[in-house]
Structure 1
Amino acid sequence: MVVADAVMEEAQPFHLAPPPRTGSVDRDVRKWAHALARDFVDPIRADRIRAVTSAASEDPATAERLYERFTQVQRTGLTDRLRVAAEAGEVRPDADFGAVADAILGSLMYWVTARRSDLSIESVDSLLDVLLRGLRAEPATGS
């Protein structure tokens, strides 16, 4: 818990900015996910992530604090960006944006906690290809 407390006290121990809003949801989500992936492959930050994950697994109060400080911020930023994209007709409005956020964040957590060495921008892009393809709004068809 000492490590979790120390990480909580840092001003910005991890990338916490929401996805940008440039007008291309694909580009914005990729830029955001790439920034997160760089945190997850950085040896010092990866060690911190594993340490706070371990602390969270031991204490529900610590888990809640860490969720509110980090995961919820990321999840909300992404789901908000996807809602804006839905309003603009870029993605399906009926998609489960929370599930998309969970898939991305959960995959990154898997890579770092399992100490997978294959996390890269390319592997993140492969995941995003599948998820973003499933989100695309269907083009209107003329009858």
Structure 2
Amino acid sequence: MANKAAPDSTRRSERSRRAIFDAALALVGEVGYEKLTIEGIASRAGVGKQTIYRWWPSKAAVLLDAFTVDVDEDYAAGLPDTGDLAADLKFVLRATADEFNDPAFQAPYRALAVAGANDAELSRTFVARLLEPGIRVYVDRLRAAQEAGEVAEDVDVRIAAEMVLSPFSQRWLMRTGDLTYDFVDTLVDQALRGLRPRGRAHRPAG
């Protein structure tokens, strides 16, 4: 009788994790965070409830891992650098607006934001895994622009990155207005107006 290969528990575990992530992201969009349960995730993923509890302590922890599983890959390339800071920021923020306007993205992000408001540890983890890597790529791009003379030497690039990103996040989170391309373009133009070296007008590359 031919020997059968032993089941690959690592691959099985990874399939189960992915199924759980997919289930959590789908369900939070369908039923909302308040009605999201470990039992519901387990049923949708086709795994036992104890399988989930073996890996995560709560539905918030499941959702956080599901939402941030590929974040390192997303930010690995950094922001584009064409030599035109305004164009690069507008390109990326327009794409980000499209993402934030997607209901499949909105549901888990808003759920985590609400949960984090009442859970300090969850909030710290969410910031460390998602928000900080996102800010860092803007800091890196602004620092490159500073070295190229597009941003004034005395500008704190970390604060500059937050000047660009905070109004975007505030508008989306508090629903004070739509995330449109016009809004994004105006936000970038006005932010850069205060960041450029004194007396230097913006001259697009090319």
Same fold (TM over 0.5): yes
Matches of 1:81 and 1:127 in 2, distance apart?
17
Match of 2:70 in 1: 11
Q: Is the 8 A contact 1:18 1:32 kept in 2?
A: no
In structure 2, runs of 5+ residues without a counterpart are 1-59, 201-206
Structure 2 SS opposite 1:79: helix
Alignment partners' CA distance in 2, 1:18 and 1:53: 24
Q: Structure 2 CA distance, aligned partners of 1:124 and 1:112? A: 12
Residue 110 in 1 paired to residue 170 in 2? yes
Which one is further off, 59-68 or 103-112?
103-112
Structure 1 residue aligned with 2:186: 126
Q: Displacement, 1:73?
A: 0.8
Deviation for aligned residue 1:115: 2.8
State which drifts further: 46-55 or 73-82.
46-55
Using the TM superposition, give the Cα deviation of residue 54 of structure 1 relative to its aligned residue in structure 2, in angstroms. 1.0
1:87: Cα distance to partner?
0.7
Amino acid at match of 1:75: I
> Corresponding residue for 1:34?
94
Aligned residue number for residue 129 of structure 2:
69
C-alpha distance after superposition, 1:56-94 (max 9, x if no partner): 212121111111111111111101111111111111121
Whole-Å separation in 2 of the counterparts to 1:116 and 1:44 = 20
Output the TM-score relative to the length of structure 1.
0.84
Asked if 2 retains the 8 angstrom alpha-carbon contact of 1:46 and 1:112, the reply is: no
1:100 Cα offset (Å): 2.3
Counterpart in the other structure of 1:79: 139
Distance 1:71 1:39 in 2: 15
SS of equivalent residue, structure 1 residue 94? coil
Taking the aligned partners of 1:127 and 1:25, their CA distance within structure 2 comes to: 13
Deviations along 1:37-66, whole A, 9 cap, x unmatched?
111111221222211111221212111111
In 1: Cα distance, 2:125 partner to 2:131 partner: 10
Alignment partner of 1:52 out of 94, 98, 112 = 112
Q: Which runs of 5+ in 1 are unaligned?
A: none
Shift, 1:117, TM fit = 4.6
Q: Which moved more, 1:114-123 or 1:84-93?
A: 114-123
Cα RMSD after superposing both structures? 2.3
Residue by residue over 1:8-28, the C-alpha shift from the partner in whole angstroms, topping out at 9 and shown as x without a partner, is 3x325xx64532111111111
Deviations 1:80-127 (A, max 9, x none): 111111111111121122222223322222222223452111111111
